[in-house]
Amino acid sequence: MEDEYFEQEAVDVEVSRPKKKDWLLPISILVAGVMIAGSLIYAVGSKSGGQNQGQTVVLGNNSAPAVSGQLPLVGNRDAILGDEKAPVTLIEYGDYQCPFCGRFFHQVESSLREEYIKTGKVRMVYRNFQILGAESIASGAAAECAKDQSKFWAYHDELYTAETKDNQENNGNLNRDLFLMLAQNVGLDMTAFTSCLDSNKYIEQVKKETADGQIMGLTGTPTTYINGEQVVGAQPYSVFKTVIDIALQKK
Amino acid sequence: MNIPIAQPYMVPFTALQEVFSRASYILLASGVSFAFFAFAVWLPNVRLIVDTVGKGGVAVSAKLQLLINLLQGIGTNFTLLSATYTIIIALLFGINIAVTVYFIKKKRTNLAGGGVFAGIGGMGSGILGIGCAACGSFILSSILSVVGAAGVIALLPFKGREFAILSIGLLIVSITLMTRKISEPVVCKPQFSKS
């Protein structure tokens, strides 16, 4: 009788052991794994561009339509800095207001010019990817007007030097007065430049180049292509040096 | 004899001390933190890494040089703010994994639901928020562009970096919940029979 009582009121004491919610660990690992793998696959896949992988299309001549994932080549509208027959081509997609493009200009480009461009190893091309607003697009158009007078690179340098004094986006400093002053600084024909600027001759072209960049899958500025190899961001000079040296070895 | 009683706010620190008194957990946390940090810094240039490191014809020293040099991008390709939260998320991520593994091993039990979900949220949010300042919230913009909603990022006040802040909060919550669970004494739970 007594035993029966204790059986009925017995307390089953049990150390806490995994019984329920055992799926939490595998699911958490799975979720993290899927997110990381998905992001990696997408990051790689979006750059390779599916059926257009590795396809090279000449841009910069304002005629070829952009294709997702394509690799850019130098076109007849591009202003080339350096030896036209240099074995390595570096194409920068930049925005004149982007502080990281400014950083690239000051910290990387100056060393590139000294070590690789002046020595005939690399030729450089700048493309418009003016994504930060109207001042960026107007700056791109002004630089294209300077290109008409074969002074693109001098004007490009003046623009970045002026913008990086404050590094503020869309604060009104990249305006007509500044464009004219910079044009004077680099010795442009002011009548021709003013006419080009005021007629908005290159606004649509700059917008098209920017749209082409988006179609190609660019995600930000600066983005550079070194013989077709994409480098995203204002990476340290050593990264560009390594990629260029590898490209030179392949030649 | 007075036995010191740990204040509730000290519990997570006491548990962290317990976990990281073992070298293996310091190594685990350091390894995971470095892996997350490298992932965040390398991510925008995954294609370059795959092309260079994954293919023949390039010297091993050049491959290693590229990987190391890309890590230095934290100093040139990030703002001070984005570099700071990237490093904080990486450290918290490593601590979170180490604490979780310790918890599983010590208690030999299933995970604490709230801590796990906060941890998953923190990891997911951190991954969404990854991105150098130059290229924005890389994953988020990629995902949104797939569904044609890339413009949504522009509507966010911090352009997607909200997810990084959210991630830090969730990882701290996750670590706190886990450490509290670690500090709980192993007890027997009564289960009254229903007869």
Look at residue B185 in the predicted model and tell me its pLDDT: 65
Selected for mutation to probe chain B from A7, A13, A16, A106 (highest B CB count within 10 Å) is A16
Q: Residue B7: its pLDDT value, please?
A: 67
Confidence (pLDDT) at A100: 92
Residues of A in contact with B171 (CB under 8 A): none
Note whether A89 and A16 are same-domain residues: no
| Orientation angle between helical segments B46-53 and B60-71, nearest 10 degrees | 160
For the ranges A32-46, B45-59, B76-90, the lowest mean pLDDT is seen at A32-46
Q: What ipTM does the predicted assembly reach?
A: 0.72
Contact present, A78 and A125 (Cβ < 8 Å): yes
CB contact under 8 A, B191 and A47: no
Chain B nearest-CA distance from A148, in A, is 30
Angle at CA of residue B191, ends B190 and B193, nearest 5° = 140
Confidence of residue A73 (pLDDT cuts 50, 70, 90): confident
The model's confidence at residue A58, banded by pLDDT at 50, 70 and 90, is: very low
Average pLDDT over residues B71-80: 90
Looking at the structure, do residues A134 and A100 belong to the same domain, yes or no? yes
Burial of A149 (0-12, 13-18, 19+ CB in 10 A): middle
pLDDT confidence of residue A57? 42
Count, residues in chain B: 195
| Residues in chain B within 8 Å Cβ distance of A24 | 110-111, 113, 116
Distance CA A201, CA A194 (A): 11
In the predicted structure, residue B132 carries a pLDDT above the cut 60 = no
Give me the domain span that covers residue A5. 1-37
What is the arithmetic mean of pLDDT over B23-28?
92
Domains in chain A, number: 2
Higher pLDDT, B177 or B24: B24
Residue A119: which CATH number? Answer: 3.40.30.10
Question: Collapsing DSSP states into helix, strand and coil, what is residue B71?
Answer: helix
Mean pLDDT (whole number) for B18-41: 91
**B45 contacts on A by Cβ (under 8 Å):** 230-233, 235
Residue B72 confidence (pLDDT):
94
Mark whether A14 and A96 lie in a shared domain: no
A59 in the same domain as A174: yes
Interface with A, mutate which of B135, B141, B147 (most A CBs under 10 A): B135
Residues B46-58 have pLDDT tens digits of 889 999 988 778 8
Same domain as A98, residue A30: no
Q: pLDDT tier at A152 (50, 70, 90 boundaries)?
A: very high
Work out the mean pLDDT of chain A and round it to a whole number: 80
